[in-house]
Amino acid sequence: MNRPDYRGLRPGNITDPAYRHILLLLYWPVHGLLFLLLERGGLARHYYTVQCALDGRIPFNEWFFIPYLFWFVYLIGGLAYTFFTDVPAFRRMMRFIILTYAATLVIYILWPTQQLLRPDAFPRDNVMTRFAVWFYAFDTNTNVCPSIHVLGAIAVSVGLWDCGRFARTGWRLAFAAMTALICLSTLFVKQHSVLDVAAAAALSALVLPLVSAPARRRASHGNRPAAARR
């Protein structure tokens, strides 16, 4: 049964098969601390600029901050939904996140990157451009390739693709559209280069078979005749 029953959870049985998936959440504080150290710790002495000619053809548009920030709701919502309703989907999503995010941190350490795409002045003055001023001051333009924003958006689709009521064409198209919109938003708010998005897509393509293989094996095992499984 995919839906977990947490009523029996106790500190002493968290490693039981029914609950051990909860331990995957321990990755988040580890990732947060390491990412903060890379961003604010001053470890890198030199950053490699990542951008291409296509970036210059993409105009800044402050309204893309809406889907860009919706990423947080999208990712947390996907994790929360699968955590409470579909453990295999939660494991699939978390394994994808752990593998891609950990690989990305290693890349940031070995190859520190930056982008120099942010506009010096905004073409308009409105609530979103004023927000952009604050956001640029808060978030650095370093450690950008591959894009964690893109990886997180793809992770939601990976987790929900075969998850209960969402395993339908309409929902899958909606998730694909939202993932695409989030990826585009990173370009239009000048947080990432096209190369950052492409690198995240390539890393996702490498990791996806690794997180999908266990599910395929379970499905194949479940479809075999009972006599064959003895």
Question: What one-letter code names the amino acid at 58?
Answer: I
User: What separation, in Å, do the N-terminal and C-terminal C-alpha atoms of the chain show?
Assistant: 21
Residues 201 and 223: their CA atoms lie apart, in Å, by 32
Residue-wise pLDDT for 160-178, tens only, equals 988 888 888 899 999 999 9
Amino acid 82: pLDDT? 94
Residue-wise pLDDT for 77-122, tens only, equals 999 999 999 999 999 999 999 999 999 999 999 999 999 999 999 9
Residues 146 and 140: their CA atoms lie apart, in Å, by 15
> Taking residues 11-20, what's their average pLDDT?
90
Q: Where are the alpha helices (DSSP H) in the chain?
A: 27-40, 53-56, 65-85, 87-110, 127-138, 148-160, 169-188, 194-223
Q: Has residue 8 got a pLDDT over 90? A: no
| Cis omega (within 30 of 0) for bond into 88 | no
Q: Give the total residue count for the chain.
A: 230
pLDDT > 90 fraction of the chain, expressed in percent and rounded: 73
* Residues 114/50, Cβ–Cβ less than 8 Å: yes
